[in-house]
Amino acid sequence: MQIARGRLLGAALCAFSAACAGGAVSACSPKAAEPAPLSGECSLNLGSEAPKLEAPIAWKPPESRLVAELELSTALLGRELEKQVPRRLADVKGQSVGAAGELTYRVERSGFAVGLQGERLVVSTPVQADVEVCKRLGPLCVTYGSCQPRLRADVSLPLIVDPQYRLGPSSAKVNVERGCVLQPIGIDQTSRVHEAAHKQEARVKARIDGSLPNIRSDVAQVWRLLHMPVAIDNTLCLRIEPTGVSQQKPKLKSDGKGQQLLSTRLAVRGKVRVEDPCVEPHEASPEKPLPAPDLEDDLPANADLEVPLFIDWSSVSAQLTRVLSTQPIKSDAGTVSVAKVETRPASLDGKSRLALGLTLSGVACGESWFLAEPVEEPQRKVLVLSEVRALAPGALPPELERALSAALTQRGVIDLPVDLSAAPGTLEGLVKRLTTDLPRQVQLDLEVEEARVANVVAQEQGLVPVVSVAGHAKLWAR
């Protein structure tokens, strides 16, 4: 029995060994040996041939816009009109009207109602007249007829400018709501009231049109100022090339506290660039003619400066070489050192990318190429490398490829050529320059956000980080 058991055990062990040898049960064999790490200098020669890269994406400098929101309280406008237009519009006594005798009348208005109809500011007020006609008998003038006509005066003015930046023409209309029938004699004098109303319409219209502000000169002054450089620091300045002007259609809105506000927005579009160094800090750029304004249903609330910066490829390569060559890069497959980093523009699936050629020494020597997306690291305000991937996967041992990708991600830093903390102050200074000499009642509210890198584009000449500075400017009177 023991012999049988021994034979069975031997047969089982034999079968088990045979199965293991045939690969039927992987766990039965010893753990497969991992690939031996590269050993010795230049065990893997990568060569120096640069890979074929996808061409950089087509790109145009972005457009910037400066937007100012204008708000005027209808209550303030009503108060100003109350100051300028007396309640009693006319007060005449004993005016001779020939054989009919003498005419005495007094005309008074009520309060102003201010509103918006389409794109026109409309101001309305009811008008009441008291009319008496008398016949003189010696020292006395005996009243024989009186009436109290009622009228309504409506004045309107467009709140959008024409192609020449002019407001107008205005419109004045005096409507007779109740005529004049002299009582008790029953003589109808309504036609005379209509005639007087039409004469008053012409006077009011002429007075308004003659007092309209010269908006074109104000806009032209802003247009000229935009061609002046804006200092960033001691050596850099901002140059603006304005290309267009827009106005938003006026709106009537509530401030949430019971007040009605007339509101519109004005915007200037253009291209912005940093000049380094600022050659003529007090000289304006060549001025283009002031274009006719565009009328828009709506405009964005915020001003947005989109400022392309420029870092040439030699500077990008030098910065990355400096941070990556300081210490060797270790992996389970061996250790390499980065002697030099070469950078070039590239793209991937229609998106801008940075190509990086690493000149290696150590267990692998030659050039190894990677693709990466440069993005902003908000805390440090620098560019770092994201989405790093090898251009030729498998050319390096996986462990070494991962180690190089990690080193590029963790240590690859590119400094921006300007201090982003100065950007909000630059926008604030520009807005204040454009809004000097405001009327006493007009206030400026200005909020500027921190600058950020909105986009980074690799182009043939260099790396282009686009810095975005947003803010909200509001001019208001209430």
> Which tens digits make up the pLDDT trace of 2-43?
333 333 333 333 333 333 333 333 333 344 334 445 556 889
Q: What is the largest CA-CA distance in the chain?
A: 167
**Strands 334-348 and 351-362: what pairing?**
antiparallel
- Helices of type H across 27-183: 74-84
- Helices of type H across 150-275: 190-210, 215-226
Task: Read off the pTM.
Answer: 0.79
pLDDT the model gives residue 131: 95
pLDDT the model gives residue 38: 58
User: The tokens 């043939």 sit on which residue?
Assistant: 460
What is the C-alpha separation between 269 and 303, in angstroms, rounded?
10
pLDDT the model gives residue 32: 37
What is the C-alpha separation between 350 and 55, in angstroms, rounded?
9
pLDDT the model gives residue 234: 86
What is the C-alpha separation between 379 and 375, in angstroms, rounded?
12
pLDDT the model gives residue 25: 35
* Number of CB atoms found within 10 A of residue 134's CB: 19
pLDDT the model gives residue 115: 94
What is the C-alpha separation between 33 and 446, in angstroms, rounded?
68
Residue 231 CB contacts under 8 Å (≥ 6 apart), including other chains:
237, 238, 278, 281, 426, 429
**Can you list the residues of the chain whose pLDDT is less than 50?**
1-36
What is the C-alpha separation between 123 and 181, in angstroms, rounded?
28
Residue type, 344: R
DSSP assignment of 229-251 equals -EESSSS-EEEEEEEEEEEEPPE
